[in-house]
Amino acid sequence: MSSYAARRTALRAELRAANLDALLVTNLLNVRYLTGFTGSNAAVLVGADGDDATVFCTDGRYLTQSAKQVPDLRRVVDRPCDVALVKNAKGRVGFESHHVTVDGLEGLLQAAGQAELVRAGGLVETLRLVKDETEIEALRMACAAADRALAALIGHGGLRAGRTERDVARELESRMLDHGAEGPSFSSIVAFGANSAVPHHRPTDAVLQQGDFIKFDFGALVGGYHSDMTRMLVLGKPADWQRDLYDLVARSQAAGRAALGPGVEVSAVDRASREVIEKAGHGNEFVHGLGHGVGLEIHEAPALSKAGAGTLSAGMAVTVEPGVYLSGRGGVRIEDTLVVRESGPELLTLTTKELVVV
């Protein structure tokens, strides 16, 4: 059984539990998760009775691609795909209510003949919380591409006085492509000096100078899966305050990593990390949640935060990324992508977490 077929089988258990005869999946990431299809237009009607009752739909642009990527499902070539699938459906058919627009639902209701449409948002996302080993290997490769790109950037003298944040960001993203990435996971954050105190700073023409903090928050995209990592460097000898701030965040990040485990409340992981920073008097400068799930999206469930709900399970892929930001001076964030395991978290981002001096 392919990983896609296995995921559809797991989804059918959820359909039976919800008393659904089928689920109309229209979110393209969920379609990809269940079928492997990577085109820009598709839907799949997953039948509770098996793949014989499951139908994939795309349009004529993707005849060849869909034949290769989805060879194991009956195919309809039409558009709009959601309407094409629902008009021949029967019984209680769930739809992704968190994804379908008001106008889209109106069209589905008009097309539905013998089908009763039922709200069923989040069923596939619930399955996506726990990654299978195929997904984890893709995440591992994405993290490796990012690790190698940063090492190449540093090793080839890419961090030197006079370069701008934009220059360095462009080179970093190019090097990720050189090392096997399809592209960056998101717009790379490269921040020099005082800009490192802006959590989601966007690269500017700010020039790197001696003594500057250098913050990299970036990731690579491989096989549709995203990596996410933040590392800190200093150009020249670090000041005492820079080392002290870095050491504080490093202790906080280590506490968060150590707290990861199956059955642990996500809020407890945040608390374990946050308490280290609060006890040092910098609680007000830790202005975001500790981390998030990562996979087919750069930000997905679970949310590791004070207000986060639920517990961790083995196979979840999450980030741990505490930060302290001193406005106008500089900030530190340290972030890893990890997989929750029974024996302890598996670290996927392997670049050193020492404060690198260049």
Q: How many other CB atoms are there within 10 angstroms of residue 96's CB atom?
A: 22
Give the number of domains in the chain. Answer: 2
Nearest residue to 290 via CA among 345, 348, 336, 330: 336
Mean pLDDT of 24-52: 98
Same domain, 313 and 181: yes
The reported pTM is 0.96
pLDDT per position as a tens digit, 131-174: 999 999 999 999 999 999 999 999 999 999 999 999 999 999 99
Q: Which residue in this structure is represented by tokens 């989804």?
A: 11
Q: What is the mean pLDDT of the chain?
A: 97
Same domain, 249 and 191: yes
Domain final residue pick, 98, 128, 158: 128
Same domain, 155 and 249: yes
Same domain, 150 and 267: yes
Same domain, 80 and 190: no
Is residue 203 a contact partner of residue 168, using CB atoms and an 8 Å limit? yes
Same domain, 223 and 330: yes
**What is the domain range of residue 99?**
3-128
pLDDT band at 1 (very low <50, low <70, confident <90, very high): low
Same domain, 305 and 273: yes
Domain final residue pick, 128, 144, 162: 128
